[in-house]
């Protein structure tokens, strides 16, 4: 049925559910602009969605790859009609009855060996719009209505650092969750993987259920200041995450999941979030029981009180840009709630962009006395956190996305860290300078640029220093503290496979390999092997809390030993530079002494742990 196809109107798959003789509520906010592709929009799966189905950290991984921030907008039944394939008729669509209504999903077949049922865009909280903007999430009311769970909604508004294909756009009404399960498991209690996106497996013998979701970002989710603290509105994005975990705990059994076997899985900002939840001892271990923390840690970012000078400055700039300046503090949030969404998001993006070159990003989590009760390093030193199996890791070249590529002068290197870390003394800056030898003064420096690419002569150096400061060393710090302070095992890895000449083993490069993505495993046998092994380890950890427990398709892969501070680390793809134009195939997975960049990390750890 055609309802509109110009730039301002939408398509809706509107029909009647003949099996229940109920009208399915239409979704009024999904743009389908091409008259010839409406059926495709209702039925075709994008590559990342298909992969997601396979059992499901994949779903996590590919949603990050292709949508970056997950989508949302509360979808209310499409009512898919008689012109759709029989496999997607409402009478054959999977259903799950919840307190908030009956969600109607779709069965995703495509080229999958085993069909997967997807329930997408389910609201887990009331829309955070209007008077609910800048407030904690609220529970969806009970209902007996049918809720469409056939397609992804829109993502929460946030700064897109990288243009992405298939981006459905954003909307403030975005607090939705997506559930993927193998068909026919509704009466089983399967392990559950919940993915917290950042800044994202049917290959084994045992299935599990995958969950992804949206949470508020930027100023709408993280607007620290003393004024925000007085209103009790700090860290709203983290509150969304906990609200979602509560929703999963209450509802996942209806989908065939086991609420006592939940793994939290996240990369970058998602990893930072998971680490904060681990340290939130008030939360306890009822809502999740295992953690995969990739390229991030609680100590990856300086976590300040809300009234820190940086946060106050960024807050005032945001308020000015939003048009809510020159009024008493107690009236600011009322004004912000009345502003059009585009004014709020534009103000958020403007302030973010203003601080992005210095990597002193606006709109970050802060100490709130609630979710983040104290500095993360103090939590580690206290020995009090939620003890659980942890799998964590980092990539060799974590900094390449974030630092200036044209940096060419030694003074620029020093100024970069002086701006980033204003509390560091001149002696500290000199130590950084010596730890990362300046190629302008030392021809033997490992950071001498010899790759014949268009970057500044200091780029390789600043990339290494920033990547180790912000990612490599904090991840290893997590492994060190957790392995010393808990009996539950900790597993540490380094991703070393080079994907490009400039990027090396870049931030998040491992994601398609974890997902056993055809685009990487089809490159060569060696790429398939490293992807298969990584995929097998992660699947096993999600199912059993041990990367070795489920043999899967690679039963002879190396035994991954649990980590100790003087122990060994699993390295993936070391020596493989095929994708960067080389001929090396390297070693898919090997255990080695945890010695790489140890000297540099000792410095960063000392600075973190002594202040």
Pairing of strands 190-196, 116-123: unpaired
> Is the sign of the CA dihedral 446, 448, 452, 457 positive or negative?
positive
CA distance 445 to 455: 17
**What are the angstrom distances between the C-alpha of 340 and each of 129, 158, 172, 221, 319?**
10, 16, 11, 16, 14
Q: 71 in helix, strand or coil? A: coil
Residues 6+ apart with CB under 8 A from 342: none
Give, in order, the Cα–Cα distances in Å from 254 to each of 38, 57, 250: 31, 20, 9
Strands of 290-294's sheet, edge to edge? Answer: 106-108, 116-123, 176-182, 209-213, 190-196, 257-267, 290-294, 390-395, 490-495, 568-576, 585-593
Pick from 53, 57, 27, 65: nearest CA to 116? 53
Q: Are strands 116-123 and 95-98 parallel, antiparallel or unpaired?
A: unpaired
- How far is Cα 277 from Cα 298, in angstroms, rounded to an integer? 9
Q: Which two tokens stand for residue 105?
A: 């999903």
Any idea what DSSP says for residue 468?
A: I
Closest Cα to residue 193, out of 477, 464, 541?
Answer: 541
Using CA atoms of 179, 185, 189, 191 in order, give the dihedral in degrees to the nearest 10.
-50
In angstroms, the CA 166 to CA 284 distance is 37
- Give start and end residues of each alpha helix (H) in 339-409: 341-355, 376-382
Q: Helix crossing, 329-338 with 309-322: angle to 10°?
A: 50
Choose among 283, 285, 279: nearest CA to 303. Answer: 279
Number of Cβ within 10 Å of residue 606's Cβ equals 11
268 is catalytic: yes
d(CA 60, CA 200): 4
The rounded distance, in Å, linking the Cα atoms of 17 and 127 is 26
Contact by Cβ (8 Å): 400, 507: yes
The whole-angstrom separation of Cα 86 and Cα 209 is: 25
First to last CA, the chain: 64
Q: Kindly name the residue from 268, 273, 526, 597 that is annotated as catalytic.
A: 268
Cβ within 8 Å of residue 201, ≥6 positions away = 54, 55, 56, 57, 58, 208, 515, 516, 535, 538, 539, 542
Count the Cβ atoms, other than its own, within 10 Å of residue 43: 18
By annotation, the residues acting in catalysis are: 268
């Amino acid at each position: 049925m055609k309802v509109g196809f110009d730039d301002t109107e939408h398509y809706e798959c509107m029909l009647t559910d003949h099996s229940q003789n109920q009208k399915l509520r239409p979704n009024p906010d999904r743009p389908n602009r091409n008259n010839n592709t409406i059926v495709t929009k209702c039925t075709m799966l994008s590559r990342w969605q298909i992969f997601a189905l396979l059992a499901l950290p994949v779903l996590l991984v590919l949603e990050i790859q292709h949508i970056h921030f997950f989508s949302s907008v509360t979808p209310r039944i499409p009512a898919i009609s008689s012109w759709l394939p029989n496999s997607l008729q409402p009478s054959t669509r999977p259903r799950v009855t919840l307190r908030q209504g009956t969600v109607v999903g779709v069965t995703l077949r495509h080229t999958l060996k085993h069909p997967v049922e997807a329930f997408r865009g389910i609201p887990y909280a009331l829309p955070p719009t209007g008077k609910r903007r800048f407030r904690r999430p609220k529970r969806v009311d009970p209902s007996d209505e049918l809720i469409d769970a056939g397609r992804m909604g829109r993502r929460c508004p946030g700064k897109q650092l990288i243009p992405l294909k298939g981006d459905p756009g954003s909307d403030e009404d975005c607090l939705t969750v997506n559930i993927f399960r193998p068909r026919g498991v509704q009466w089983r209690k399967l392990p559950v993987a919940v993915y917290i996106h950042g800044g994202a497996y049917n290959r084994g013998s045992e299935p599990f259920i995958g969950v992804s979701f949206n949470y508020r970002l930027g100023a709408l989710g993280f607007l620290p200041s003393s004024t925000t603290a007085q209103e009790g509105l700090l860290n709203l994005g983290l509150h969304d995450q906990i609200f979602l975990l509560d929703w999963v705990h209450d509802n996942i059994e209806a989908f065939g999941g086991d609420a006592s076997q939940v793994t939290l899985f996240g990369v970058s900002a998602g990893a930072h979030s998971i680490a904060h939840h681990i340290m939130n001892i008030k939360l306890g271990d009822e809502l999740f029981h295992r953690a995969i923390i990739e390229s991030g840690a609680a100590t990856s970012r300086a976590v300040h009180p809300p009234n820190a000078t940086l946060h106050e400055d960024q807050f005032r700039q945001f308020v000015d840009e939003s048009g809510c300046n020159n009024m008493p503090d107690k009236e600011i949030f009322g004004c912000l709630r009345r502003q059009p969404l585009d004014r709020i998001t534009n103000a958020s993006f403007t302030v973010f962009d203003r601080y992005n070159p210095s990597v002193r990003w606006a709109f970050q989590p802060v100490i709130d006395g609630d979710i983040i009760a104290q500095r993360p390093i103090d939590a580690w030193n206290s020995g009090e956190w939620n003890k659980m199996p942890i799998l964590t890791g980092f990539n060799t070249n974590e900094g390449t996305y974030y630092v200036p590529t044209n940096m060419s002068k030694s003074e620029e290197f020093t100024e970069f860290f002086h701006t980033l870390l204003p509390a560091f003394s001149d002696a500290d800056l000199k130590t950084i300078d010596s730890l990362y030898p300046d190629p302008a003064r030392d021809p033997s420096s490992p950071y001498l640029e010899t790759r014949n690419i268009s970057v500044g002569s200091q780029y390789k150096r600043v990339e290494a220093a920033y990547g180790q400061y912000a990612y490599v060393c904090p991840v290893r710090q997590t492994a060190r503290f957790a392995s010393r302070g808990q009996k539950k095992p900790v597993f540490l890895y380094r991703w070393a496979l080079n994907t490009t000449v400039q990027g090396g083993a870049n931030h998040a490069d491992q994601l398609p390999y974890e997902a056993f993505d055809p685009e990487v495993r089809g490159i060569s046998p060696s790429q398939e092997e490293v992807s298969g092994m990584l995929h097998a380890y992660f699947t096993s950890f999600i199912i059993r809390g041990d990367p070795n427990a489920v043999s899967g398709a690679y039963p002879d892969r190396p035994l991954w030993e649990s980590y100790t501070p003087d122990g060994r680390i699993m390295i993936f793809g070391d020596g493989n530079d095929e994708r960067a134009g080389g001929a090396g195939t390297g070693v898919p997975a090997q255990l080695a002494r945890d010695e790489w960049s140890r000297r540099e990390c000792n410095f960063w750890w000392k600075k973190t742990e002594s202040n």
